[in-house]
Amino acid sequence: MALLDKFASTAAIRDQLGADGQDPTDVVIDQIISPTEGLVGGRHTILAGTNNYLGLTFDPACVEAGKKAIEEQGTGTTGSRMANGSFATHTALERDLANFFQLPYGMVFSTGYAANLGTLTALVKTGDTVLLDSHCHASLYDGCQMSGANLFRFRHNDIKSLEKRLQLLGDKTENCLLITEGMYSVLGDTAPLAKIVELKNRYGALLLVDEAHSLGVYGECGRGVAEAEGVLGEVDFVVGTFSKSLGAMGGFCVSPHPELELIRYVSRPFIFTASSSPSIIASTHEALRQLRARPELRETLWRNANHLYEGLKALGLHLGPQVSPVVAVRLGTKEEALSCWNRLLEAGVYTNLMIPPASPGGFSYLRCSVSAAHTPEQLERIISAFADLKTQLL
Amino acid sequence: MNVRFDKIENKIKELLASYLESSGHPELEKHGEITGATNLVSDFTLDSFQVMEFLMEMEEAFDIMIDMNNLSNAHTVNELAKVVASLLKK
């Protein structure tokens, strides 16, 4: 039994999470009504924690593309691309993604997590060095740790902290990869990529940027924060996901370096995973077309982001540092956050509960992600629910 | 070496006390004096994010970089002091 004893502490945490009502890690949405509404426990609930930034999950063209792919290509690929071969639709999506980023090389993975693991474990090895922003996602940490490279963190969005580490590395900077995100997922703040690019050029390092949350959100054409900062052409590897703005599942890496094509041969998370099913590839590809053809989606998203941020700010709540489609309300203890999360759910508003150690600075947060599909009325209901919460609990 | 090691260990104790105070951590008074055997996780219930934050404080204080992959056996103040001492020798 000793092997299983380790789960006792996990069971205690789970019981604690469920003590105040619903366990936030075990929410079941009985019926999805739209990109922004579902039935939870028989109650109509506004979904304010989906990362469905452009609201494309029910887009008729995306749904039709997925249906057509199932009818024409079947339900799955039943194996990895290296062993079973690629479907033409996989390679077409890779070409279009690279084209969208105005880069020559693109590669598709089965999940966003696999994209980071697959890229990093191939890109850096024992003897190489990684400098990682301290707020980076777990998939970036895991990829670095699995790679065997020396792994150092710098303070979040702190250029001086990054430069200090580059100085300490001395002549090892040519074997150094810098890693940041575009928009960070918990607080919705963005990386100072123009300054980071300046440093990477000065010290001769390479730069990987994870635009998982910023694809479709930032930049004139929706390419992400690197585009918005005017440095997309100087980023060495852009990784991202299909599971947020593109409304499906999967991940990608695009790059100006021809070596990306060689990563296919050495990336175990790519080689030993079944490739994405035809319907996922088809709806993702259609969502990418929608993202490019309908900039008004981004305009609506930002109008909604401003609406929610300003509404919650007017309540005197402590929010993230900048207006963003991720609006995080900072709270105190885990217990307080859990209680607030439950009261919001009872009021018909689903948010994401973020508690340490998954949230930065030892604080707990109720995280909202805004969608272009949210109506002004839904946003007002979210603000109203927070106002009630503030009166009752905060 | 011993004198220097003691200095390193004492500096880490000071940094830890300062970190706990500045982060408003409730365990400091309860635990009392920080010793070489103080375990950051089991004695002070620092979560993984706070441990990483504290390590960055140490890096800046000693002007070193600590490889995240070399920390699996460093849980106490004394063990962290050994990591710092080995980096300062390089």
**Chain A residues with CB-CB distance to B48 below 8 A:** 357
**Which of A151, A168, A360 is opposite residue B68, by nearest beta carbon?**
A151
Give the C-alpha separation, A296 to A165, whole Å: 41
State which amino acid sits at residue B72.
S
- H/E stretch holding A173: none
In terms of domains, do A94 and A183 share one? yes
Q: In terms of domains, do A177 and A277 share one?
A: yes
Nearest chain A residue to B71, by CA: A151
Q: Are B69 and A356 a contacting pair at CB < 8 A?
A: no
CATH number at residue B33: 1.10.1200.10
At residue B1, the pLDDT reads: 46
**A-B contacts (CB, under 8 Å):** 42
Q: Report how far apart, in Å, the C-alpha atoms of A148 and of each of A55, A84, A296 are.
A: 39, 29, 44
Backbone phi and psi for residue A146, each to the nearest 5 degrees, phi listed first? -70, -25
- Chain A residues with CB under 8 Å of B67 CB are 150-152
Return all residues near A200 (Cβ < 8 A) that are at least 6 apart: A178, A206, A207, A234
Nearest-CB residue to A134 (from B23, B52, B69): B52
Q: Looking at the structure, do residues A289 and A310 belong to the same domain, yes or no?
A: no
> Is the Cβ of A167 closer than 8 Å to some Cβ of chain B?
no
* In a shared domain, residues A141 and A67: yes
Same domain (yes/no): A246, A269: yes
Total domain count, chain B: 1
Tens digits of pLDDT across chain A (394 residues): 799 999 998 999 889 888 888 999 999 999 999 999 999 999 999 999 999 999 999 999 999 999 999 999 999 999 999 999 999 999 999 999 999 999 999 999 999 999 999 999 999 999 999 999 999 999 999 999 999 999 999 999 999 999 999 999 998 888 999 999 999 999 999 999 999 999 999 999 999 999 999 999 999 999 999 999 999 999 999 999 999 999 999 999 999 999 999 999 999 999 999 999 999 999 999 999 999 999 999 999 999 999 999 999 999 999 998 999 999 999 988 889 999 999 999 999 999 999 988 888 778 999 999 999 999 999 999 999 999 998 887 6
Q: What is the ipTM of this complex?
A: 0.88
Measured in angstroms, the CA of B69 and the nearest CA of chain A are apart by: 7
Q: Are residues A248 and A317 in the same domain?
A: no
Interface list for chain B against chain A, based on CB atoms closer than 8 Å: 23, 47-50, 52-53, 56, 60, 63-69
Domain of residue B31: give its range: 2-89
Q: Are residues A37 and A141 in the same domain?
A: no
- Domain check: are A85 and A210 in the same one? yes
Residues A133-170 pLDDT 10s: 999 999 999 999 999 999 999 999 999 999 999 999 99
Number of domains in chain A: 2
Residues A171 and A252 grouped into a single domain: yes
Distance from CA of A270 to the nearest CA of B (A): 24
Q: Is A320 left (phi over 0), alpha (psi -120 to 50) or beta?
A: beta
Pick the residue with more confidence: B31 or B4? Answer: B4
Q: Which helix (H) or strand (E) holds A353?
A: strand A352-354
Question: Among the three residues A252, A270, A293, which one is the final residue of a domain in this structure?
Answer: A293
Taking the Cβ of residue A145 and every Cβ of chain B, the question of whether any pair is shorter than 8 Å is answered with yes
Considering only CB atoms, which chain A residues are within 8 Å of B53? 134
CATH of the domain at A22: 3.90.1150.10
Q: With beta carbons under 8 A apart, name residues in chain A contacting B23.
A: 362
Say which residues have a Cβ less than 8 Å from residue B34's Cβ, sequence separation at least 6: B13, B16, B17, B77
A53 assigned to some structural domain: no
Partner residue facing A356 (CB), from B47, B65, B69: B47
Range of the domain at A22: 12-47+295-392
Contacts of A150 in chain B (CB under 8 A): 67, 69
For residues A338 and A190, membership in a common domain is answered with: no
| DSSP character at residue A190 | B
Give the domain CATH number at A157: 3.40.640.10
What are the chain B neighbours of A155 within 8 Å (beta carbons)? 56
Asked if residue A320 is part of any domain, the answer here is yes
**Nearest-neighbour CA in chain A from B24: distance (Å):** 10
Residue B69 confidence (pLDDT):
87
Residue of B nearest to A162 (CA): B65
Residue A134 and residue A199 in one domain: yes
Last residue of a domain, one of A258, A293, A328: A293
Contacts of A148 in chain B (CB under 8 A): 69
Asked which of A259, A276, A293 is the last residue of a domain, the reply is A293
- In a shared domain, residues A275 and A305: no
